[in-house]
Structure 1
């Protein structure tokens, strides 16, 4: 049973076909919301849609292939959502993985790609859905961000800088949109189980082949000084997103929830 009833509400999740995005779609459907999700990979999106419809018979769901870096595709997606489900009440901006690189080995093109992905995945979707959100009595935007925004890592220099910019953007949008009744918040992720970490596990060196997933991630958590001693689950991040997107957080805007298991060292 969901902690909140969102019947009659329409939620949009970008990057919703896997990981945290998919877990968020699940929670929103459980709460009774109509949900639109998009992703770039058509096959993965189709698989996710089939799983969701099987788990939630009769749900109001719209899935569309969309590259959030292509503004015309995002505008078309926004029009489809309104036509199929009604105007959006909640927008969850969730797109983009991290880039491992130092300042010395990050070329100009890599900087541009990283900054474009992190900023315009938020900008394009927010711009496209803003007219719909303005008509909602309880509109919200949630940006899925990383702890790197406030606790940068030298081996992820471009991602850290871009994440810091999005952290600032959330605060700016919250101020600008408050008179419209639109709340804007974000979450700051630590290490969360994902396909990216699964691939690193599968590619682990021979000396680590005796470690199963639980042991390997526990050691990783120890190495990273994660106080809770493990990686987070996508569902744990999704719960924080649901809280910020829903009226449960009706007096919260311009804020971020830390979902890092104690990895955070910032004040």
Structure 2
């Protein structure tokens, strides 16, 4: 049956940066598809709050917290080993952690540039490298890297984010080039402008919000629910022959001039 292709029952999914926003929505969606979900963030208190709320919203699902810094190689290795001991080997990795820093290039410090690249690009390399050996040994695994329309487009004052997401797009291809032969599917999911608590000030900015809706053929902001189906697809057996691709979920923004 077609539904079985999307069934994630019996699989462990680690979603980085999942205490709120897009990561939390993807965690909930993977759980609804049957996966046991490991939530990640750096703040143990916020992470536990998210776990408790998700567990209450989805009583049939299983959520586990794993607080660690995805930019710290030693912490990542220890956390992945701990997840394997407590929950099980990671079958699905969603590299979602990251942040934005808005500042013109000529005013941008090297420290701020490097902080964005570490959080948005290097973290995916570190966590992906930590889970891949187990996936390779088992002959199967799914990695979904959360990219952005900024992997394809650029706007003023967000150069580090644009560079990081462009790099993540090609890291996705590089991972697929090396690991697909071992039974892994590595793909990217590129959201357009999504309304979350972090983008709330932009949504509230009438001029910017009008630009988004006018620039997007669908004539609206996306919401986190728009990303769940594509993420479940890329994490499932339905995507068994999809590799090294980036799926843009942007209401058509990157399809038009």
Pair in the same fold by TM > 0.5: yes
Following superposition, the deviation at residue 180 of structure 1 comes to: 1.2
| Structure 1 CA distance for aligned equivalents of residues 219 and 142 of structure 2 | 33
Question: Of 140, 151, 158, which residue of structure 2 is paired with 1:138?
Answer: 140
Cα distance change on mapping 1:28 and 1:201 into 2, 3 Å = closer
Q: Decide whether aligned partners of structure 1 residues 249 and 103 sit closer, same or farther in structure 2, where only a CA change above 3 A counts.
A: same
Q: Once structures 1 and 2 are overlaid, which stretch shifts more, 1-10 or 241-250?
A: 1-10
Q: CA contact under 8 A between 2:66 and 2:83: conserved in structure 1?
A: no
Displacement of 1:266: 7.0
| Counterpart position of 1:30 | 32
Contact 2:145–2:189 (CA<8 Å) still a contact in 1?
yes
Q: 2:12: which partner in 1?
A: 10
Measured after TM superposition, the shift of residue 254 of structure 1 is 0.3
1:251 matches 2:241: yes
Distance 2:50 2:201 in 1: 20
| Cα drift, residue 72 of structure 1 | 2.0
Which is richer in helix?
Answer: 2
The 5-angstrom pairing of residues 219-234 of structure 1 reads: 219-223=210-214, 225-234=215-224
Q: Deviations over 1:15-69 (max 9, x none)?
A: 1111111111111111111111111122221111001211233533211211101
Gaps of 5+ in 1: 209-215
Within a 5 Å distance, the mapping from 1:105-144 to structure 2 comes to: 105-144=107-146
**Structure 2 counterpart of 1:60:** 62
Residues 227, 121 of structure 1: CA spacing in aligned structure 2 closer, same or farther, 3 A cutoff?
A: same
Query: Any conservation in 2 of the 1:2–1:30 contact (CA below 8 Å)?
Result: no
Please provide the CA RMSD for this pair: 2.2
Report the Cα distance in structure 1 between the residues aligned to 2:162 and 2:222, rounded to whole angstroms. Answer: 20
Aligned pair count reads 255
Matches within 5 A, 1:117-196: 117-196=119-198
Cα pair 1:19 1:195 within 8 Å, conserved:
yes
Structure 1 segments of 4+ aligned residues over 6 angstroms from their partners: none
TM value normalised by structure 1: 0.88
Q: For the Cα contact (< 8 Å) 1:37–1:64, is it kept in 2?
A: yes
| Structure 1 residue 99 corresponds to structure 2 residue 90 | no
Q: Is the 8 A contact 2:101 2:160 kept in 1?
A: yes
Change over 3 Å in CA distance of 1:2–1:66 after alignment to 2:
farther
Which residue, 219, 236, 239 being the options, matches 2:226? Answer: 236
Uncovered stretches (5+) of structure 2, i.e. residues with no partner: none
C-alpha distance in 2 between matches for 1:222 and 1:114:
27
